[in-house]
Amino acid sequence: MTDSRDPLLDAAAASVAAYSDYADDYAVTHAPKMADQVERFADSLPTPSLILDAGCGPGRDLARFAAHGHNARGVDLNPVFVAMANAYAPTSRCDLRDIGSRFPAGAVDGVWACASLVHLGESDTVDVLGQFARLLRPGGKLYACVRSVGRTGWLDEPDGRRWYTVWNAEAFACAVADAGFEVDHIDQGVFVEVWATRNHIGNP
């Protein structure tokens, strides 16, 4: 994410900015999470593959993908997270809504979007999924998860106030499919997790 959107006016930008004051605590709290999913995604790709961690936070999964023998690149809107993540892999500041302009079409083998779409509205999420599809080579892999429990709107959390969009599992899976993917598997819980394969040579 870039500086082009004013966090005072943009819910997603404001939500991501809220992580700055507690970035170290966030990294510690979330460090043990998602290890099984990362391993599963890493194993779904030939080694080495180029994996884009779209919304990488402080870099936890960048380090894990590197440990699995892959080449990882990170993007995030939060400048504190970008600085932290650069310790693990090359990371740049980027708005996911602009991600398609940052990399050539078909440039990456995998896109990992772990809870990075949660602060976007539905229409922005649909657009970003389409941009992910264009960035992936045919047959490339996508992992994306969004909230499926609660209600859409602002949530006051101990470390800040953030906007969340809550998705019905079927609706999110359909959005992924419509963006140009074959949905391989869906895991449902507090988050709906979609595992998918890029299935179009041209733009969706």
pLDDT per residue as tens digits for the range 9-48: 699 999 999 999 999 999 999 999 999 999 999 999 999 9
Query: Measured between alpha carbons, how far is 153 from 135 in angstroms, rounded to an integer?
Result: 30
Residue 136: beta bridge partners? Answer: 108
Residue 114: beta bridge partners? Answer: 145
Q: How is residue 111 written in tokens?
A: 């896109």
Q: How far apart are the first and last CA of the chain?
A: 23
Sort strands 108-114 and 50-54 into parallel, antiparallel or unpaired: parallel
Cβ contacts of 110 within 8 Å, gap of 6 or more: 41, 44, 45, 49, 50, 51, 52, 70, 136, 140, 141, 142, 143
Say what the pLDDT of residue 3 is.
Answer: 47
Query: Measured between alpha carbons, how far is 196 from 113 in angstroms, rounded to an integer?
Result: 12
Say what the pLDDT of residue 137 is.
Answer: 97
Which amino acid type is present at position 169? A
Say what the pLDDT of residue 4 is.
Answer: 53
Query: Measured between alpha carbons, how far is 67 from 111 in angstroms, rounded to an integer?
Result: 17
Q: State the pLDDT confidence band at 1, using cuts at 50, 70 and 90.
A: very low
Domain at 11-198, CATH class: alpha beta
Q: State the pLDDT confidence band at 77, using cuts at 50, 70 and 90.
A: very high
Q: What proportion of the chain, given as a percentage, has pLDDT over 90?
A: 92
Q: Angle, to 10 degrees, between the axis of helix 169-178 and the axis of helix 122-135?
A: 40
